[in-house]
Amino acid sequence: MTFNIGLVGCGGMGRRHAHGYIELRKYFDTVSMSAVCDVHPDVASAVAGEIGAATGVTPEIYTDFGDMLSNCDLDGVAIVTSTPMHHRFATQAMEAGLHVISEKPMGLTLKACRQMRDVSVATGKVLAVAENYRRDPMNRLTKALITNGAIGTPYFAIDIGVGSSNGAVMHSTVWRAKKEQAGGMPLDAGVHNADMLLYLMGPVGSVFAETSIFEPNRTLLPMNQVAPGLAAMYDHRKEEGYTTGDEVEQTAVDTAFGVIRFKSGAIGQLVMTDTSHGQALGVSTISGSKGTLYRPQSRSGQSPRIVTNDGNEVTGDALLDLVPEFVLDKTTSTLWDGARRISSYDMDFRLIDSKILAYEYMDMVQAAESGGQPEVGPEEGMEALALAYALFESGVRSEPVNVRDITDGSISSYQDEIDIQMGI
């Protein structure tokens, strides 16, 4: 039986989903992508054309999500639109009897996510979140090392993502500059960091953060100047109402410095900004009672590294001795050409990205077919979003917040305005 998926949102990430599907088809013939949808027909058509050229079957093209649902015999949809549409399309699809995989963040606010979760529970349809970082085999290895006590008891995690858009609009996508459409960079990008911290360190109790909008006046510059590594993925997308060189007001928080207390008692530091000039800094470490683990950049293929008290460094295949039970799951192993126990791998970013997306689709399809839950479902998607929003909510209140209060909606000051804009 073939599981038939329709893709909505064919911009930069939508194109990467198409590449993920093309990669998936090299290994599995039980999934098909028979329709794609974008409000811009030429954007949808560019992505459909790439799928057709690579797989021999060109998906049907739609410009209206409802039309795609009514006219196609779909089993599931992949939602890759800009974030404010995630909850609307997800609930519409599940109520029409389809399973869903939604890009991260699961929804734009916790209120939107709670609606999505409730519809998933009521309809029994899978709601998977395409949270990609944790699926990287090197992050699987990192998790196994921590779980196996390779650094002892984790004391603290440092996660610093200090980069610069150099005064430009992030990813040349105007919606990312707008609070009511993206929340802010520490959320849009930081939800990945949040998910990884939760994956590796366990649940969070409270967060204190300071936040700011340091660069409210931004310029729309071409993607090859802003993020050259991803420019090829975005060269077909359309930015309605703006042209290159336009000034754009940044209304979304662009900087957050947070301190986290995990329920285990460990402490975390999460710093996210795209306003640093003259300095880029990426630090991802976890320190424990026996040593410090240096996390490789997700999707780099590089090995984690552990440094112990005596300065001894363990990396590469020597790490595998610390995790004798570590083995990649069957789907990852298939996509990584049969690899079972690896401590690094050598592939370019685009291929790694595609393999991880292929994995995410298989995870959703397997959950749908088995009646189980995907690895990252509504609860995990909401937990990561709540941690990211805890930064903003604490920033608004100038006091620590309990993440549980963000998840259940008791604290929502930063999000209220966004919910009003979304009409929920």
Ligand X SMILES: NC(=O)c1ccc[n+]([C@@H]2O[C@H](COP(=O)([O-])OP(=O)(O)OC[C@H]3O[C@@H](n4cnc5c(N)ncnc54)[C@H](O)[C@@H]3O)[C@@H](O)[C@H]2O)c1
Site of interaction with ligand X (CB under 6 A): 8-14, 37-40, 43, 65, 80-83, 85, 103-104, 130, 132, 171, 173, 188, 234, 237
For residues 406, 108, 18, 335, the Cα torsion angle rounded to the nearest 10 degrees is 0
Nearer to ligand X by Cβ, of 185 and 319: the residue is: 185
What 8-state DSSP symbol labels residue 30? S
Q: To the nearest whole angstrom, how small is the minimum distance from the Cβ of residue 318 to ligand X?
A: 31
Q: To the nearest whole angstrom, how small is the minimum distance from the Cβ of residue 153 to ligand X?
A: 31
What 8-state DSSP symbol labels residue 385? H
Q: To the nearest whole angstrom, how small is the minimum distance from the Cβ of residue 297 to ligand X?
A: 13
- Written as one string, the DSSP assignment of 101-130 is EEESSSSSSHHHHHHHHHHHHHHT--EEEE
Nearer to ligand X by Cβ, of 254 and 343: the residue is: 254
Place of tokens 């399309």: 89
Nearer to ligand X by Cβ, of 117 and 178: the residue is: 178
Q: To the nearest whole angstrom, how small is the minimum distance from the Cβ of residue 360 to ligand X?
A: 9
Q: To the nearest whole angstrom, how small is the minimum distance from the Cβ of residue 291 to ligand X?
A: 30
In a 3-state reduction of DSSP, which class is residue 292?
Answer: strand
Provide the pairing of β-strand 267-273 with 154-162.
parallel
In a 3-state reduction of DSSP, which class is residue 28?
Answer: coil
Cα 378 from Cα 254, distance rounded (Å): 26
Q: To the nearest whole angstrom, how small is the minimum distance from the Cβ of residue 188 to ligand X?
A: 5
In a 3-state reduction of DSSP, which class is residue 243?
Answer: coil
Nearer to ligand X by Cβ, of 145 and 177: the residue is: 177
Place of tokens 């900004």: 273
- Pull the structure tokens for residue 64: 């209206």
Nearer to ligand X by Cβ, of 31 and 69: the residue is: 69
Cα 35 from Cα 30, distance rounded (Å): 16
Nearer to ligand X by Cβ, of 170 and 204: the residue is: 170
Rg (CA), the chain: 21
Nearer to ligand X by Cβ, of 240 and 310: the residue is: 240
Residue 92 phi, psi (nearest 5): -60, -45
Cα 155 from Cα 135, distance rounded (Å): 24
Nearer to ligand X by Cβ, of 6 and 288: the residue is: 6
Nearer to ligand X by Cβ, of 180 and 369: the residue is: 180
- Pull the structure tokens for residue 417: 């305005």
Q: To the nearest whole angstrom, how small is the minimum distance from the Cβ of residue 236 to ligand X?
A: 9
Q: To the nearest whole angstrom, how small is the minimum distance from the Cβ of residue 83 to ligand X?
A: 4
Nearer to ligand X by Cβ, of 177 and 200: the residue is: 177
Q: To the nearest whole angstrom, how small is the minimum distance from the Cβ of residue 210 to ligand X?
A: 24
Nearer to ligand X by Cβ, of 284 and 402: the residue is: 284
Cα 385 from Cα 195, distance rounded (Å): 8
What lies within 8 Å, CB to CB, of 64 at 6+ separation is 37
Q: To the nearest whole angstrom, how small is the minimum distance from the Cβ of residue 131 to ligand X?
A: 7
Cα 392 from Cα 384, distance rounded (Å): 13
Cα 70 from Cα 68, distance rounded (Å): 6
Cα 337 from Cα 355, distance rounded (Å): 10
Cα 408 from Cα 383, distance rounded (Å): 11
Q: To the nearest whole angstrom, how small is the minimum distance from the Cβ of residue 299 to ligand X?
A: 9
Q: Are 306 and 314 in contact (CB under 8 A)?
A: yes
Taking residue 337's Cβ as centre, other Cβ atoms within 10 Å add up to 10
Residue nearest to ligand X (CB): 11
Half-sphere exposure for 415 (CA within 13 Å, toward CB): 27
